[in-house]
Amino acid sequence: MAEDEAPKISLEPSKTAFVFIEFQNEFVHEGGKLYEPCKASLEKYGTLTNGAKLLKKARDTNCLVVHCPILFEKGHNEIGPNPYGILKGVKDGEAFMSGTFGSKICAEMEPSDDEIIVKGKSGLCGFSSTNLDFLLRQRKIENLVLSGFLSNCCVESTMRSAYELGYQVYTVKDACGATDVDAQEACFKYNFGMFSVPTTSDVIIDSIATP
């Protein structure tokens, strides 16, 4: 089914959580260790602007807001002594280290005092090393609206797990970012439709009635 034939989305706030994945300075601002490679995708999609619009809408409609940062203590001891793959890059680059500028959630997406911040994310999937599923199940959340970084890494892993866990998953393409625009567009094209309803920030914003 083409997206323009998609049935209208309508989300009930009490059953809906917005999960904001790694909107951290490391990716989105000058001085962040992965800002340079992310810049093209941030600009092409307007990721930050759209992320902030989603956050405002979620707050205005009393949807559950969940911030999901990735964090490591100094020394990155959460990762083993001989890593490979993406965690090797994270450890070698000392990225997302607690207390640094890079690890902070960016000003545009700053959590308010009563919002939930997921704990324990030492890996890629938002569920596998965290209390995210626990938090969502405690509130009987059925719909997940996913956005953030990186489209084909943590967002995609979180989407894949969320789908298997039985959530109704919405992925907001224009509120995601990646270190490579082609990588982002490949996962949108080939993978996101298998494990979610891929959509845009405008569609999501229209899908919830403001009270």
Site for a copy of itself, rule CB under 8 A: 73, 75, 77-81, 83-86, 114, 116, 118-125, 128-131, 133-140, 142, 152-153, 156-157, 160-161, 163-168, 180, 182-183, 186-187, 189-191, 193-197
Amino acid at 72: F
| Cβ nearer to a copy of itself, comparing 138 with 210 | 138
Backbone angles phi, psi at 43, to 5 degrees: -75, -40
Comparing CB distances to a copy of itself, the nearer of 53 and 61 is 61
What minimum distance in Å lies between the beta carbon of 197 and a copy of itself?
Answer: 6
CB of 62 to a copy of itself, least distance (A): 13
Cα 41 from Cα 51, distance rounded (Å): 13
Instruction: Give the span between the Cα atoms of 5 and 13, in whole angstroms.
Output: 24
CB 28 within 8 A of CB 105: no
Q: How far apart are CA 70 and CA 80, in angstroms?
A: 16
- Cβ-based nearer residue to a copy of itself, 44 or 119: 119
d(Cα 36, Cα 194) in Å, to the nearest integer? 30
Closer to a copy of itself by Cβ: residue 179 or 201: 179
